[in-house]
Amino acid sequence: MRQRTVPFRGWVTPVLFVLPAFVLFAGTVLLPTIGTGVCSFMEIRTGLGWQWVGLWNYTDALFRDDVFLLSIANNFGYLFATLIVEVLFGLVVALIVNMRYPGFHLFRVLFFTPMMLSLVVVGLIWKFVYHPMYGILNQLLRSAGFENLMWPWLAHPYTALPAVCVVSGWIYAGFYMMLFYAGLQRIPVSLVESARIDGASEFQCIRHVNIPLLREVMAVCILICSTGAFRAFDLFYVMTPDGGPDHYSEMVATWLVREAFDFDHLGYGSALAVIMTALVFLLTLIYQIYQYRREVIEF
Amino acid sequence: MSETSASRPFQFSLPALGLYAFLIAVSAAMFFPLIWMTYSSFKATSYEIMLNPWGLPKDWDLSRIAAQYAYTWTKGNIGTYVWNSVAVTFATLIIVLVCSSMAAYAFSRLWFPGRDTIFTIFLIGLIIPTEAFLIPLFLEFRELNLLDTRWCLILAYSGTALPLSIYILRAFMVNLPRDLDESAIIDGCTSWGVFGRIIVPLITPALATVGIFTALGAWNEFLLALIFIESESLKTLPLGLLAFYGYHKVEYHYLLCGLTITTIPMIAIYLIFQRQIVEGLTAGALKE
């Protein structure tokens, strides 16, 4: 990587260029991330100081904390749900929008709009939609004559998590649509045209030309979606505070924050953060291996 | 990327109509909550909203609606929250643009021992979730007496935005031709001169991309603000709205005013700058 022609001699100036960014990054992200690893072996109570407890936090989390185990299961459920309502739905819409009938670009612009809004705002708006008494969803059911289908969407263990997943799709489907659409733009027009000349129908073109060529974009989307699922916090904190009914919509992140900052178990919270970060890194690693193998096998 | 090759002429066919119907139905379902929120915020009392959630407001008395919004803005503190968000976002933006363009310049044009290692460390930062450094950062800011100040948010937002910013700016700079900076060096420019006079003017498109995701990220961030900020007078918009929701739980009309005030301008900004914003928000994913 080192450049052959180094126009300036000495390394003091280059270091000065990087220094502000590095100090800031090290102070706020890098060192605290390492600190999480250290803290996870301690018990820290505000005003009482700290002490080493070895692996105690981890054994506590993995063997005694039912809520944490439930939150991991919920997180995986959320992951698979978002793969469908965000990535798959985004793919379908992108393929439709890519057919380029007049006015379709307008829909592409519209579907991306929720990405502008803060998750807190979105969560509060959707609390109105799901409100058991006055929510527009239940009122719609009532006026359509399905009074027996009216349901406390966010307050019931069966529907709290799915209801939040729908909102998640509402926000992010447009984002993944844009990624897929950008991928579709990169497919050479000549490829699709030659398939058409060979007699492929529109559907066959999509199935056998577009979708296979989107594989790389698909991998990126799955990576972003699944790592994002483990970071999920805002929507759940706003829409189902305290982990929802009986922790049925508890996420790893919401439980971590509650343990650390409400119950003042900063060391234990750090251990949960380490486990969560390890899951995110693991998913990224799987993606990297997949990319590497593709490159080795195909080129 | 060749932008939108012309749309094909419309031919009347059943599948095409079906696709239009599908897209219209999806966007109607998608936008209805926002439209409902806007017109319901014009209702005079929360009772009116509860009684008939779907109905339009009974009267469109503009002075009353204006008074309602004014109450939300001043008494509901929304104005304070917006100002805090503006201050934090603006400071974060300046810090990130300056620091990341300088660092990206060094990573792409200059050399120093350990350069590539340090760049790799920044790359690892791309996948570190907020929760991974939240607790020690909280302890760090507590030791430094920075908790519950604007500075802790500005520093944390800048630090988290840096990896992606540097990554994008460096990728952009690597593709810039070197002729210009080489001739500037021959004319006696120092590296600071090359950076300020040659590089910065050339990278403005990339700076816009970086600025957009940094600003939106800081504007909408919630978790760090929730942990670090307690004073009512320092809350940023997402945090403030949640507090506002707590105080006005049954006064739906004020609540909806607050949500509308914060939502509609963002949508307007998006519709004006949609091409740049889409580019900014998808930049991280597409460069991978």
Spell out which residues of chain B touch residue A36, defining contact as CB-CB under 8 Å.
132-136
Instruction: Tell me, yes or no, whether B49 lies in a domain.
Output: no
Instruction: Tell me, yes or no, whether B51 lies in a domain.
Output: no
Residue A45 φ then ψ, to 5°: -120, 135
Instruction: Tell me, yes or no, whether B16 lies in a domain.
Output: no
User: Are B105 and A17 in contact (CB < 8 Å)?
Assistant: yes
Instruction: Tell me, yes or no, whether B8 lies in a domain.
Output: no
Q: Percentage of chain B surpassing pLDDT 70?
A: 95
- Residue B253's closest CA among B32, B38, B55, B63? B38
Spell out which residues of chain A touch residue B130, defining contact as CB-CB under 8 Å.
231, 233
- CATH number assigned to the domain comprising residue B219: 1.10.3720.10
CB A128 within 8 A of CB B253: no
Q: Is the pTM of this model over 0.90?
A: yes
B62 interfaces chain A, CB cutoff of 8 Å: no
Report pLDDT digits (tens) over B176-189.
988 888 888 888 88
CB A222 within 8 A of CB A204: no
Instruction: Tell me, yes or no, whether B27 lies in a domain.
Output: no
User: Are B219 and A118 in contact (CB < 8 Å)?
Assistant: yes
Separation of alpha carbons A18 and A13, rounded Å: 9
pLDDT of residue A202: 81
Q: Report the gap between the CA of A157 and the closest CA in chain B (Å).
A: 23
pLDDT of residue B7: 64
User: Are B241 and A120 in contact (CB < 8 Å)?
Assistant: yes
Separation of alpha carbons A264 and A50, rounded Å: 12
* Consecutive H or E run containing A51: strand A49-52
Q: Find all residues with CB under 8 Å of B269, minimum gap 6, and list them.
A: A116, B277
Residue type, B217: G
pLDDT of residue A261: 94
Q: Find all residues with CB under 8 Å of B60, minimum gap 6, and list them.
A: B42
Q: Find all residues with CB under 8 Å of B111, minimum gap 6, and list them.
A: A2, A3, A6, A11, A14
Of the candidates B129, B139, B160, which has its C-beta nearest A28's C-beta?
A: B160
Burial of B225 (0-12, 13-18, 19+ CB in 10 A): buried
Report pLDDT digits (tens) over B225-283.
999 999 999 999 999 999 999 988 888 899 999 999 999 999 999 999 999 999 999 98
Task: Give the tokens for residue A37.
Answer: 């690893």
Spell out which residues of chain B touch residue A105, defining contact as CB-CB under 8 Å.
4, 7
Print the domain residue range for B89: 78-286
Instruction: Tell me, yes or no, whether B58 lies in a domain.
Output: no
**Strand A49-52 to strand A42-45: parallel, antiparallel, or no bridges (unpaired)?**
antiparallel
Q: Which of residues 27-86 of A touch B (CB under 8 A)?
A: 27-33, 35-36, 38-39, 44
Search chain A and give the residue with CA nearest B225.
A234
Hunting for tokens 């900004």 — which residue is that?
Answer: B269
Of the candidates B109, B116, B134, which has its C-beta nearest A1's C-beta?
A: B116
Give me the CATH topology for the region A60-298: MetI-like fold (1.10.3720)
Search chain B and give the residue with CA nearest A3.
B111
Spell out which residues of chain B touch residue A220, defining contact as CB-CB under 8 Å.
285, 288
pLDDT of residue B4: 46
Instruction: Tell me, yes or no, whether B136 lies in a domain.
Output: yes
**Least confident among A31-35, A59-63, B11-15, B272-276:** B11-15
Burial of A118 (0-12, 13-18, 19+ CB in 10 A): buried
Report pLDDT digits (tens) over B69-103.
999 999 889 999 999 999 999 999 999 999 999 99
B8 interfaces chain A, CB cutoff of 8 Å: yes
The H-assigned helical ranges of chain A are 12-25, 31-39, 56-59, 66-82, 89-97, 104-111, 119-130, 136-143, 160-185, 189-197, 202-205, 211-213, 215-231, 234-239, 252-257, 266-298
Spell out which residues of chain A touch residue B9, defining contact as CB-CB under 8 Å.
102
Residue A1: is its pLDDT beyond 70? no
Q: Report the gap between the CA of B61 and the closest CA in chain A (Å).
A: 24
Separation of alpha carbons A232 and B127, rounded Å: 14
Three-state secondary-structure class, residue A52: strand
Q: Which of residues 179-238 of B touch A (CB under 8 A)?
A: 181-182, 185, 190-192, 195, 216, 219-220, 222-223, 226-227, 237-238
Q: Find all residues with CB under 8 Å of A54, minimum gap 6, and list them.
A: A41
Report the pLDDT averaged over residues A235-246: 92
Spell out which residues of chain A touch residue B166, defining contact as CB-CB under 8 Å.
21
Spell out which residues of chain A touch residue B215, defining contact as CB-CB under 8 Å.
none
Spell out which residues of chain A touch residue B222, defining contact as CB-CB under 8 Å.
118-120, 233-234, 237
pLDDT of residue A103: 86
Report the pLDDT averaged over residues A92-109: 90
Domain total of chain B:
1
Q: How far is CA B267 from the centre of its chain?
A: 12
